[in-house]
Chain A
Amino acid sequence: MSDSIYTFDFLLEPSLEIKQESNFELGAMSASVPIPQRRTELADFNTDLDLCLQDNQIGSFHSVPTLPYNKFNFEADSSRMEPFKMEDDDIFQVDKADLVLGPTLAELNANPDTSLDDLNFDDLLLPEESRYCLQIGGAMSGSKNSPNVFQTNTLTSESPCSPYGRAQLAFSPSSQHSSASSSFVPPMNQLPELLLRMDGYSGEIALGQSVPASSVLPPFPPSVKTKAQLSSSAPTHLTMDQIWQRREPRKHLLSTSSLAEAGSVSSLSGGLLSPGTGDFSQDEDDRDIESDEDSDRYEDLSSDESNDECPERKEARQAKKEKYFWQYNVQAKGPKGQRLILKKKSEDPHVLNLVTDPVFSPNCNVKGIKHSGKARKGDGNDLTPNPRKLYLIGLELDKLGKIINDMIPVSELPFNVRPKTRKEKNKLASRACRLKKKAQHEANKLKLYGLQHEHRRLLNGINQVKQILCNRVTNPDNNVDWSSHVQTLVNTATEDKGQVTFEDKWPSMRPIVLKLLKQEAVTQTEWQDLFGAVHSVCLWDERGPLKLRDALQQDIMMYIKQAQVRVLAQREDQALLKAYIAEWGKFFTQCNYLPTPFRLLEGCITVISKVSSSNANNSQKKNNNNNLEDSLVRKLMLDSWNQSIFMDIKQRLQDSAMKLVQAERNGESFDSQLVIGVRESYVNLCLNSIDKLQIYRDNFEAAYMQSTEEFYKLKANEYLLANGVQSYMKYADQRLKEEEARAHRYLEPGSGSVAALTQCCEKVLIVEHLPTILAECAPLIKSDETEKLQLMFRLLDRVPDGVTPILRDLEAHIVSAGLADMVASADIITTDSEKYVERLLDLFRRFSTLVKNAFMDDPRFLTGRDKAYKCVVNDTTVFKLELPSSALIRGSKGTSPESKCPELLANYCDMLLRKTPLSKRLTSEQIESRLKDVLLVLKYIENKDVFMRYHKAHLTRRLILDSSADSEKEEDMVEWLREVGMPADYVNKLARMFQDVKVSEDLNTQFRGETTRHDAINIKILNAGAWARGSERVTVSLPLELEDYIPEVEDFYKKKHSGRKLQWYHHMSNGTITFANSVGRFDLDVTTFQMAVLFAWNQRPMEKVTYENLRLATELPDPELRRTLWSLVAFPKLKRQLLCYEPVVQNPKDFSENTTFWVNQEFALIKNGKPQRRGKINLIGRLQLSTERSQLEDNHSIVQLRILRTQEAIIKILKMRKRITNTALQSELVEILKNMFLPSKKMIKEQLEWLIEHKYMRRDDEDINTFIYMA
């Protein structure tokens, strides 16, 4: 720009003051020290590089020669986005700016309409000037009315290769002043982010400060603005002086606003950005070119400047004598004193003035500005852009912000700590402020750097255009197409020149891509080049990613089409499959490799589609939404495959595959890999990232199922008709197994297909023939065909509810077979409990075997068996236990009869445990196993309380008469009963009985030691709680010998245990007497009652005694006496009875008062028809445990006890639940009572009524079926 005809003077403007020293530290490059001065031209340039580039491109795309202003409109737009960022003051006025919540940089960029109308180019604007500018604009955009001389400039060559805008900035390899710059090179596309990060500060600040007129001046119409910009960057006119003159007063006006003075600082940035400085052009070559030229142009000028300026400045200094401390330290905020304004002689907007740090520059001659050694060189003096620092500051700020936000608000704190916290918070806040300032500074440096390059490029462009114009003027006859030439120039200057475009790169990329697709060898270099190319296209070409995608798609489609042709060439099914699988395999492999280089592309496309979401088509949007893990290119590839090849031939593929499977079913063999390959292609062809198996499921799986179903629908019927049900079952079973194995082979594992297929087969093979199969069931069970049953069970178990009918059949069979057996042998089993129990056990074993063999002990069948067996056990058709109804007690009618089974069971038990022929015959092990069997049957008995009652009675007899076969077994039995779940209190009582017997034995020993009178006296003193059945006292006059012992025993016992009262149970006591008569002497085991009766004759052996007299003598109650006498006159086992009587009666009840009894003098034991002289016989028989009357009540007491138990259980449940519905109560009741008896519905109802009546509970008022507990 040596041809600049305008001279600008550096003026030291006394009215303005330098608020801050320039933060540029320049090396020896420039000797001149221009006073910081702002130049509005900078408004044209974007420092936010990426975005500015984009905008410029858009602008260039839109610019049409006929619309000359458009282009400049765009320039204006871009300039708006980056208003004066180089404001020195910004750095130190962050605080104020922080308060301004302006639009962020990103917002500004994204929305070009964001009005920055108030940029202060308006200061520069004059109507006449704008007209001029318009003309220039027209000339630049190729309008033919430019009258100037043209001269082509070779500088165009520079344009393609100078993307300073970003690349250099990012790499900054050779900055002379980068002593402080770190080696960190952030990825390029991170830079905008960094800037965006900071835009909270920088953007706002830039706006707020550089646009002082925002609130003062009315916005200019856009056209005016355009002109303003033009004016600033276009070659200036002679009126420029006027402009500056006009401007300066206005600046004074503006300076009233506290914001920075645009004009005053602009020269600083302008100076920096001037092409001549070259400080920041790190690219050596570029700098060489530029600095060569520029230095040529500027050399004299700059030196002039420095020389000329200094005196001026000195004058200014002298005018104001004060020395401010900023003069010592540039970083300090000086008083708002005078500002240094260096007025250049030539105010050429094309020339960016060089700025030298007035303090540190060795060449700075301004007196008083030179530092005196105290000034420190800080960050402010270093202009090397350092994105990393900015980034780190950002991180730091985030951290700080988080800390501050995490603090508890002061207002929520107690008063005493508030000041402290406030102080702390303030400290942090001010730290954040300082950091923001720093960040602002850093951001400015970056922007400055970019602006500088931008400016340089534009100036180059202008120069060239100028030359063209000159040529045109001087040589009007030349018919060269000037306009297009100019257009190119303009484009290159304003566009992001030197951008890598898609079109540039694609030709070199394409072969590699094609190679990859064809699976040809790709060298490492090629591979890496591809990465690089994609990277640069994505970064530099705005439309690149989309274009790249489209091109890629085309190629992929092409490849696929070829593949399709290759596949479809195959006519034959197997060959088709083979070809398809081969092609697919190749393609799918590439799906894993090809996307790798294009990974960056995905990110770009995502961003683009987000920005322009309005015009992004739906499918792409969808892709972007869920392609986070799945690569876009891969998706593209698979999509293309799916759309072009797969859709066309999938039917054929499926059909062929199914045919193969069918063939296998029919026994032919083939390459299973074919089917598997097809399946894999279906699975891998996933596009839907949510359901990866969608295609597979919709097509392959469905087809497989369908063909399977059809196949078996046909086959099954055929086979069934031809071979009958039983062999059909075998067939079905086998086929199911086969199909399952096949499914595992051909269907995708883990997709649930196998299960689905199995289900499908089951449906066809089993469900559809269910009735036919089930019809076979009952006969099979009856004939015990376990193997076939097992097969049937296996088949039907696969289908839901399949086994239920079998279960039903089995139960019916067990019940009917069991009962039939019972009825058939009714006469035996009713009398012989042993036979009965054994028959029961036999049945049980039979059924269990059946269940085990046929149904593999399936729990459902075991339950069914138990249920049915219970029916058999509790059946009452053969014999029943008539329980008196609760009528007698409660006043209602009889209960239903119950099975006599528990009684017989208890009897059987007694036979095993007592000294009987049976127990003597069996070994200990046999007895044990039989007892276990008893317990087994016991489980199925509903009225267990009856069993318990009988068992306890038997045990009592055995204990009192000492007739247990094995006391150990007795105790084992008690434990077993506990194990099978008998109620604890019952089992405890049994255990207690054993204990009492043992205690009594000890007591006996002690007693015998104390008394000398009779060794034959035994006492059994038992706990009334455990033993007593009724408390009825039976009177009897004991033989004299015994009578004496009674008080003795009582005394003895009292001594042993205080506080206890004895009650004699003479009906249970017994003894052995010696009966001597003329025949011989016999030992008789008798009850005490019998003893008492016999002793009546001791004094008068020959007398006949009447019944009445006997009663008086023995004092026995009438029923007991009758029974005792009857046992003596008609003992079944005796041929010759002990007593004779007259008249003969059939029944003890028929004894009258006058019936006479006498001792049979001929009594003898008869053995082998011969009377014995000696012998021993037991006359006790079944020891009477209670009196006659209480025995009558015995059965009542069962019922009574049940009633009490039921009441108890109901109250227990209600206490727990508080309120409960009838049904729930019933089921809980059964659960509690089932180990004793099965409460009948009727009894439950009665007891509920009774409890309600007695206010234990009540019905809910609203729901009659709900009961509420009343405490």
Chain B
Amino acid sequence: MKVTIKSWTGVATWRWIANDDNCGICRMPFDSCCPDCKLPGDECPLVWGACSHCFHIHCIVKWLHSQPQQQCPMCRQDWKFNNK
């Protein structure tokens, strides 16, 4: 008797790896989307700054646009996207 795998479908779910549960700007959970979006996921991704703080991309972009200086709203360091 021999059992061989012909095909396999693996199911996995993904979550954001964030240092917090909620977005520091909109206070929505990272698992859901920012207030401007309808669906969580690829349309409403998270971004991490060099300072390791993490936000919905829509939230941080909005924040940066509204500020004269490009600073992280959490730690006041200069904001840089961390493209690790």
Contacts and interface: CB of A to CB of B under 8 A. Distances in A.
Contacts of B32: 1025
A1064 B10 contact: yes
Q: Interface centre among B32, B41, B42, by most A CB within 10 Å?
A: B41
Contacts of B16: 1059-1061
Given A1060-B15, A1098-B3, A1069 B40 contact: no
Given A1023-B41, A1025-B31, A1076-B1, A1016 B11 contact: no
B12 A999 contact: no
A992 B40 contact: yes
Contacts of B50: none
B66 interface: no
Nearest to A1161: B1
A1091 interface: yes
A1024 B12 CA distance: 9
Given A988-B38, A1060-B14, A1061-B14, A1097 B7 contact: no
B3 A1094 contact: yes
B3 A1074 contact: yes
A1041 B5 contact: yes
Given A1017-B10, A1069-B8, A995 B3 contact: no
B12 A1016 contact: no
B48 A1059 contact: yes
Given A1025-B32, A1159-B1, A1070 B9 contact: yes
A991 B10 CA distance: 21
B10 A1069 contact: yes
B6 A1083 contact: yes
B6 A1073 contact: yes
Interface string B10-23: 11111111100000
Contact of A1020 (B12, B18, B31, B47): B12
A611 interface: no
A1068 B11 contact: yes
Interface in B31-53: 31-32, 38-42, 45-48
B4 interface: yes
B41 A1057 contact: no
Contacts of A1042: 5, 8, 10
B13 A1023 contact: yes
A1027 B32 CA distance: 12
Main secondary structure of the interface of A (DSSP, over half): mixed
B2 interface: yes
B28 to A, nearest CB: 11
A1114 to B, nearest CB: 13
Contacts of A1026: 39-41
B11 A1064 contact: yes
Contact of A1097 (B3, B4, B31): B3
Contact of B9 (A1023, A1069, A1074, A1076): A1069
B14 A1053 contact: yes
A1062 interface: yes
Interface in A1072-1091: 1072-1078, 1083, 1088, 1091
A1018 B9 contact: yes
A1057 B46 CA distance: 10
B41 A1045 contact: no
Contact of B10 (A1020, A1057, A1059): A1020
Contacts of A1064: 10-12
B65 interface: no
A1058 interface: yes
Contacts of A1022: 11-14
Given A1022-B14, A1026-B41, A1063-B14, A1058 B7 contact: no
B39 A995 contact: yes
A1049 interface: yes
B15 A960 contact: no
Nearest to B48: A1059
A1062 B54 CA distance: 18
Contact of B7 (A999, A1016, A1159): A1016
Contacts of B10: 1017-1020, 1042, 1045-1046, 1049, 1064, 1066, 1069, 1088
A1083 B15 CA distance: 34
Nearest to B47: A1059
A1063 B83 CA distance: 23
A1091 B41 contact: no
A97 B14 CA distance: 105
B39 to A, nearest CB: 5
A1020 B3 contact: no
A1071 interface: yes
Contacts of B47: 1059
Q: Interface centre among B5, B11, B47, by most A CB within 10 Å?
A: B11
Nearest to A1023: B41
B30 to A, nearest CB: 9
B84 interface: yes
A1061 B31 CA distance: 12
A1083 B3 CA distance: 10
Contact of B2 (A1018, A1046, A1101): A1101
Contacts of A1017: 7-8, 10
A935 interface: no
B41 A1018 contact: no
Interface in A1101-1137: 1101-1102
B14 to A, nearest CB: 5
Contacts of A395: none
Q: Interface centre among B4, B9, B18, by most A CB within 10 Å?
A: B9
Interface string B47-80: 1100000100000000000000000000000000
B18 A1059 contact: yes
Contact of A1062 (B13, B18, B42): B13
B38 to A, nearest CB: 6
Nearest to A1016: B7
Contacts of A1095: 3
Given A992-B41, A1022-B14, A1026-B40, A960 B9 contact: yes
Contacts of B40: 992, 1023, 1025-1026
B5 A992 contact: no
Q: Interface centre among B4, B8, B31, B39, by most A CB within 10 Å?
A: B8
Contacts of B18: 1059
A1039 B10 CA distance: 13
A784 interface: no
Interface string A1012-1052: 00001111111111111000000000010110011001000
Contacts of A1053: 14
Nearest to A1183: B11
Contacts of A1023: 13-14, 40-41
A1074 B39 CA distance: 40
Contacts of A529: none
Interface in A1144-1184: 1159, 1161
A628 B8 CA distance: 100
Contacts of A1083: 6
Contacts of B3: 1073-1076, 1091, 1094-1095, 1097-1098
Q: Interface centre among B2, B3, B47, by most A CB within 10 Å?
A: B3
Interface of A: 960, 988, 991-992, 995-996, 999, 1016-1028, 1039, 1041-1042, 1045-1046, 1049, 1053, 1057-1066, 1068-1078, 1083, 1088, 1091, 1094-1095, 1097-1098, 1101-1102, 1159, 1161
13 contacts: A1016-B7, A1017-B10, A1019-B11, A1022-B11, A1023-B41, A1039-B5, A1059-B47, A1059-B54, A1063-B13, A1069-B11, A1072-B7, A1078-B1, A1161-B1
Given A1022-B11, A1066-B10, A1069-B11, 12 more contacts: A992-B41, A995-B39, A1018-B7, A1019-B9, A1019-B11, A1019-B12, A1020-B9, A1021-B14, A1025-B31, A1071-B7, A1073-B3, A1097-B3
Interface of B: 1-18, 31-32, 38-42, 45-48, 54, 83-84
Closest 5 CB pairs of A and B: A1071-B8, A1016-B7, A1101-B1, A1024-B13, A1018-B9
